[in-house]
Structure 1
Amino acid sequence: MVNITVPQNSPSSSSHYKSSPEGLPSPSPPATIKPSGSGLVKDYWIRSTTCTASSTADPKRKRQLKVDIPVVSYGHSGWLTSSSLTTVVEDPWKEVEVDGDGFSVYCKKGARDVMEDRFKSFVDFNGQHKQAFFGVFDGHGGSKAAEFAAENLYKNILTEVEKMGEVNIIKAIKQGYMNTDSQFLDLNNRGGSCCLTAIIRDRNLVVSNAGDCRAVVSNGGTAMPLTSDHRPSRQDEKQRIESLGGYVDYSRGVPRVLGLLAVSRGIGDQSLKQWITAEPESNFFKIVPEFEFLIMASDGLWDKVSNQEAIDLARSFCVGNDKLQPALACKKLVELSVSRGSVDDASVMIVQLGQFC
């Protein structure tokens, strides 16, 4: 078991970039998404969920068209099933709620013009029953890096696992992160993204992160952080940056790499790549009965809500009730952060670990 100390509340970095050294992409128009029916878990069979949709407009009608956002099932052998949600949207990421098979997600856009968070959920990962992949991605300088990571990181990890074997899964995950970073940089796109992933198989849990998205498990009701935030204020991260010829400077009260970026690891960030590494920190855990549920979230939650507060609030919806409501717990956590003044994008995923054991 690995014990990691993570600050309960760190200085707000609601804007990872003070100002993007490469500039920001043109913002998309604001909008909403409201799935029809009583909830995705009741109306759709979800095996894989990634939200990367974009909006379309008809210049003749001068108003938004209906667009289809596919929710698809994907296995190692190929596409299995497909269904779609038809909804009037401008920006489908303004608010997203998913209640899936053993996991729930709630995402809400903050004060920016563009929602930069993304997520990935993949149940029966690699064709294995009770094996799953989950990811939360927090972009900065635009959403392209987060979208790219959501679509490609799990594929790159799977490729490396097949090459190296599962006994080398930590090494395979690292190489998957590094390959994803290289592929994104080759596209010459702007911005970057923090990444947080969790792989579950055979009662084992491997959690990896590059950046300040955080994973916390409820260990019998006690908050147990499974990751440590990568911020320039961390002494080892500061030393690493300085050893490479960089420096950490405060801007708006927040320590930033070269006075610009408030995180020290992630994919992308081409202009700062000398100091911003995509190498993740990974930790391996045996899932014990005391592990009730896992919270994976972007810093839009953790900047305003402590680890224990998050577990306490979520636990009343996720443990010991006849009618569990983890999706509502995700939403309540985001609402708590907003009520405390957060203007950042926020994405919260709760994984019911017992579903995979």
Structure 2
Amino acid sequence: MSCSVCNSPVFSPSSSLFCSKPSIILSSPQETISLTLSHLKPSSPSAAAASLNSPFRLRLQKPPTGFSPASCTGQSPPGGVLKRKRPTRLDIPIGTTGFVAPATPREEGREVEREGDAYSVYCKRGRREAMEDRFSAITNLRGDRKHAIFGVYDGHGGAKAAEFAAKNLDKNVLEAVAGKRDESEIANAVKRGYLTTDAAFLNENDVKGGSCCVTAMFSDGNIVVSNAGDCRAVMSVGGVAEALSSDHRPCRDDERTRIETTGGYVDTFRGVWRIEGSLAVSRGIGDAHLKKWVIAEPETKTLRIDQDHEFLILASDGLWDKVSNQEAVDIARPFCLGTEEKPLLLGCKKLVDLSASRGSLDDISVMLIPLDQFI
């Protein structure tokens, strides 16, 4: 199976479109939220056919001279360097007893917002007919508000993979890390949670598309951030932006080498580096037709939350393609610190609207999480 979306920042215009029914899941008492909305990009068949038949479409086995990983994200380096401290041993709760009840979604809705007791999130549909972004949040694990897990998921080729990840990834991660205390054990357990979710999705019937994922797990004053794809986690450290995740795109030297070593190729189309002329991300859940190269293995970073660690931004690339890390921190900071008594949700909306005003046509999802509550 091969899928792509015309004029998509993720797919090249070379294959079919997919969509799925949206859903929104809410539960109590532990406030488990898994928001799902589906989304399609319009395409022009004639334009797609023309681009495929064009003699000017090039396949490059190696990137041009002067290539650097920074060029694939369009982001400047963070404004400062985070002094990392070795985290204390983690004591992850064994599990949660939350009940998940489905809610009736509004398929025609362009915007979705949620204010939780530990976070706020705002999602805005791009140019597609329905949204492919998703998010999840499980707070007050075992009755302790200092234990929680959050996620943002950016689907492509349809919303099925993002929807599946939003419903299952956080729970699979929690199950895998139960009882683990050492930092390396935690990282390996999170990896198993991601791989378990990927394998389960690929075993589903009528599997279509894939999803980038970023998750943040809090436990006993520590934060564990993991990602597969180009959803990103950025932390404000005394007002300075510090990326806690690294985007997985084919233009990264290590990702390109991994792909080519296993028999794949990376080339460019309309200035975007892609795997096999198709996908513009190199890790994620799903993407069965490219599974040999698009792996679900996440990168994980664990650190101890200090007083200077103010808040965390989890967002899809709909934000990061138009707004830099430092800009995002500068805009969100007054809302997250409560210095002007502004609602946290308004900070999410400000970031989404800024990206949209700069021409983003993608779905945009932004989650803000103040960190002082987890110290």
- TM tier, smaller: 0.7 to 0.9
Aligned partners of 1:28 and 1:114 also within 8 Å: no
Give TM-score, length-normalised by structure 1.
Answer: 0.80
* 1:61-85 deviations in Å (ceiling 9; x for gaps): xxxxxxxxxxxxxx823439x7x98
1:242 and 1:234 map into 2 onto residues whose CA distance is 12
- Answering whether residue 69 of structure 2 is matched by residue 47 of structure 1, we say no
Match of 2:18 among 25, 35, 44: 25
1:345 and 1:219 map into 2 onto residues whose CA distance is 27
Match of 1:306 among 313, 324, 327: 324
1:91-110 equivalences under 5 Å are: 91-92=108-109, 94-110=110-126
Aligned partners of 2:149 and 2:218 also within 8 Å: yes
Aligned partners of 1:120 and 1:134 also within 8 Å: yes
- Answering whether residue 355 of structure 2 is matched by residue 337 of structure 1, we say yes
Q: For residue 99 of structure 2, what is the aligned residue in structure 1?
A: 79
Structure 2 unaligned spans of 5+ = 1-6, 39-94
Match of 2:169 among 153, 157, 161: 153
Aligned length: 307
2:356 and 2:311 map into 1 onto residues whose CA distance is 23
RMSD value, Cα: 2.5
Q: For residue 183 of structure 1, what is the aligned residue in structure 2?
A: 200
* 1:181-211 deviations in Å (ceiling 9; x for gaps): 0001111411000000000011100000000
- Greater share of strand: 1
Structure 1 unaligned spans of 5+ = 1-12, 34-39, 55-74
1:336 and 1:319 map into 2 onto residues whose CA distance is 20
Aligned partners of 2:37 and 2:132 also within 8 Å: no
1:20 and 1:151 map into 2 onto residues whose CA distance is 30
> Offset at 1:311?
0.4
Q: Sequence identity, in percent? A: 55
Give TM-score, length-normalised by structure 2.
Answer: 0.77
> Offset at 1:112?
1.2
Q: For residue 226 of structure 1, what is the aligned residue in structure 2?
A: 244
1:26 and 1:179 map into 2 onto residues whose CA distance is 24
- Answering whether residue 137 of structure 2 is matched by residue 137 of structure 1, we say no
2:229 and 2:148 map into 1 onto residues whose CA distance is 22
2:8 and 2:29 map into 1 onto residues whose CA distance is 35
1:1-357 equivalences under 5 Å are: 14-19=8-13, 21=15, 23-26=16-19, 47-52=31-36, 76-79=96-99, 89-92=106-109, 94-162=110-178, 165-167=180-182, 168-187=185-204, 188-357=206-375
> Offset at 1:349?
0.2
Aligned partners of 1:14 and 1:342 also within 8 Å: no
Aligned partners of 1:14 and 1:300 also within 8 Å: no
Seen in structure 2, the aligned counterparts of structure 1 residues 20 and 186 have a Cα distance that, compared at 3 Å, is farther
Aligned partners of 1:46 and 1:101 also within 8 Å: no
2:338 and 2:345 map into 1 onto residues whose CA distance is 16
